[in-house]
Structure 1
Amino acid sequence: MSFENIAIQQVAEYWNRRPCNIRHSTKELGTREYFDEVEARKYKVEPHIPSFADFARWKGKRVLEVGCGIGTDTTNFARAGAQVTAVDLSAESMAVAKRRVEVFGLADRVRFFNGNAEELDRLLPAGETYDLIYSFGVLHHTPHPDQAFAKLRSFLAPGGELRVMVYNKFSWKVLWILLSYGKGRFWDLDRLIATHSEAQTGCPVTYAYSRRTGRELLERHGFKVTEVFADHIFPYRIPDYVQYRYVKEWYFRWMPESLFRRLERAFGWHLCLIAEGT
């Protein structure tokens, strides 16, 4: 299934209605307590993010984050000493991210640009390059990912690095979607993945990639992939999780942690790719 005919405004409206992770805290939106809880919850259920981003490594460097959302990773790059340029399609998400860096006294380290990742050359200052281009769980939601990755290459500085996460088609999550919602209708899998890929159902665009097709996506736009790995299986019961309780599904509750980690590396939902320019 192709999502090329989906209007980018439809994608923006979806994320404006409910920015990603916006409900990770019950504290007052925009307060320090709210942002601290959002970060704690995000990294509790996705603990691989800090090591993948490697925030401390980019101290004194220029970081371009494509798809900053409400600014959790943005803030941590800035805290670590990076100069951050953050792009997001959702104006509502960006408003929260701006508030976040203000609350933590980091506004002088972050610039924000609201717009479409497929049109980065129109958004960002001409001639700028970045030591790290980082995008976590974003570019699979744009109707024309190839257009976005083609633009990214021109913004990578010599010796710079791309770190991107897209969804893994051969994952536990996709199997769960297929069995729970698709009733085995594998021929409708692309639509099912899009509909059920996020906490808020009905995402208009979600592509999923294998290790091979993810690598090919980057390589055809001038990147040399140096590492590919899968991570992240969500182990918690959703009815409890939305009530801020962390109760694992019974089949994960009794699984040894070492076995669970092997399962994540084999069938994780997050396909993480690290690349450099060619």
Structure 2
Amino acid sequence: MAVAQTFSTRTVEDVRRYWNARPCNIRHSPKPVGTRAYFDEVEARKYFVEPHIPALAEFDRWAGKKVLEIGCGIGTDTIRFARAGAQVTAVDLSDASLAVAKERAAVYELDDRITFHQADVERLSEVVPVEAYDLVYSFGVIHHTPHPQDAVREIRKYMGPQSVLKMMVYHRHSWKVLWILMKFGKGAFWKLDELIARHSEAQTGCPVTYSYSRRTVRDLLQGFTVQRAFVDHIFAYRIPEYKRHEYRKVWYLRLLPDPAFRRLERSLGWHLCVEARPAGPGRIGSFPAPA
């Protein structure tokens, strides 16, 4: 990866502290955190703003199957998998996020379908017993760990010949990256990696954020065969109104007809979504040496 050295001095503890300070999507509802009304609203808002998530995850496909979710956050997708009938092992680095996710599982009475672990994906097998899962799912997580190639090697240990990996990482050739470069970097492309990290999330100052092209994500996924890769999602809404839970698009995107906007999302979207399967013999615990 061209940016491999950029974040090499950042630590997993830096990342944990960042997400503990404000778990992802924690402000998606103004209702009291931990109530069913809160969780219902968080879920509705998440899939309204990011409607491509169910299309990637295919929640119903995993009924009766074993799902390992890397980076469950406050548990929105976790609950959807469990509600659909999957047996879910949910992992997150942030203990603050896990506390909310566990509350969520209790509220929906899905505790018996979900096992939670606090773990660093780069050292996953030190915490989570190694066994084959039908699906390993990670949405918006791998790009936030200092050494994503180590995370991929760990993930590979949990996959058998028929296992599927579905993940989202940030798309380098995206509308958002261009917006960050122009708004915050004033065109200083040589600072792009740090600019993306600082402004990739709702709270500024994320310690680690890698971004990938369709080519470099294949470089990351050594030991896998990528079967599908697509981009989606341009956040179109004005921030002041969005914080009030109102949805008003920025003026220049309001000018686009819906079909034109969807074409733009599919070419310059911020989310690079990938589905892959293990290459080679697929023996649990094995991972080919890098070429």
Please, what TM-score do these two structures have when normalized by structure 2?
0.93
> 1:30 & 1:133 partners in 2: Cα distance?
27
Gaps of 5+ in 1: none
> 1:251 & 1:132 partners in 2: Cα distance?
39
State the 1:215 CA deviation. Answer: 1.5
1:116 equivalenced with 2:117 (yes/no): no
Mapping of residues 59-98 of structure 1, within 5 Å = 59-98=63-102
> 1:269 & 1:130 partners in 2: Cα distance?
28
Aligned CA RMSD, in angstroms, stands at 0.7
Amino acid at match of 1:136: F
Give the structure 1 partner of residue 271 of structure 2: 270
Amino acid at match of 2:263: R
State the 1:60 CA deviation. Answer: 0.3
Aligned partner (choices 186, 192, 201) of residue 189 of structure 1 = 192
1:211 equivalenced with 2:230 (yes/no): no
Give the structure 1 partner of residue 134 of structure 2: 131
Runs of 4+ in 1 over 4 A off after TM superposition: none
> 2:239 & 2:214 partners in 1: Cα distance?
28
Amino acid at match of 1:169: R
1:27 equivalenced with 2:31 (yes/no): yes
1:106 equivalenced with 2:110 (yes/no): yes
What secondary structure, in the 3-state scheme, does the structure 2 residue paired with 1:226 have?
strand
> 2:71 & 2:157 partners in 1: Cα distance?
18
Give the structure 1 partner of residue 251 of structure 2: 250
> 1:71 & 1:157 partners in 2: Cα distance?
25
> 2:182 & 2:241 partners in 1: Cα distance?
21
What secondary structure, in the 3-state scheme, does the structure 2 residue paired with 1:43 have?
helix
Amino acid at match of 1:39: E
Mapping of residues 222-233 of structure 1, within 5 Å = 222-233=223-234
Amino acid at match of 2:116: F
- The C-alpha deviation readout for 1:207-243, integer Å capped at 9, x for no partner, is 000110012211x2x1110011100000101111111
What secondary structure, in the 3-state scheme, does the structure 1 residue paired with 2:179 have?
helix
Amino acid at match of 1:26: P
State the 1:157 CA deviation. Answer: 2.4
What secondary structure, in the 3-state scheme, does the structure 2 residue paired with 1:9 have?
helix
Give the structure 1 partner of residue 19 of structure 2: 15
Question: 1:215 touches 1:273 (CA, 8 Å); kept in 2?
Answer: no
- How many residues are matched? 275
> 2:11 & 2:210 partners in 1: Cα distance?
15
> 2:199 & 2:255 partners in 1: Cα distance?
27
Q: Once the two structures are aligned, what percentage of the paired residues are identical?
A: 61
- The C-alpha deviation readout for 1:58-104, integer Å capped at 9, x for no partner, is 00000000000000000000000000000000000000000001100
- The C-alpha deviation readout for 1:96-119, integer Å capped at 9, x for no partner, is 000001100100000001010001
Q: Mean alpha-carbon deviation: is it higher for 154-163 or for 48-57?
A: 154-163
Give the structure 1 partner of residue 282 of structure 2: none
Mapping of residues 106-185 of structure 1, within 5 Å = 106-126=110-130, 128-185=131-188
State the 1:254 CA deviation. Answer: 2.4
State the 1:251 CA deviation. Answer: 1.2
State the 1:129 CA deviation. Answer: 1.2
Amino acid at match of 2:278: G
> 1:8 & 1:69 partners in 2: Cα distance?
16
> 1:66 & 1:147 partners in 2: Cα distance?
14
- The C-alpha deviation readout for 1:172-209, integer Å capped at 9, x for no partner, is 00000000000000000000000000000000000000
Gaps of 5+ in 2: 280-291
State the 1:151 CA deviation. Answer: 0.8
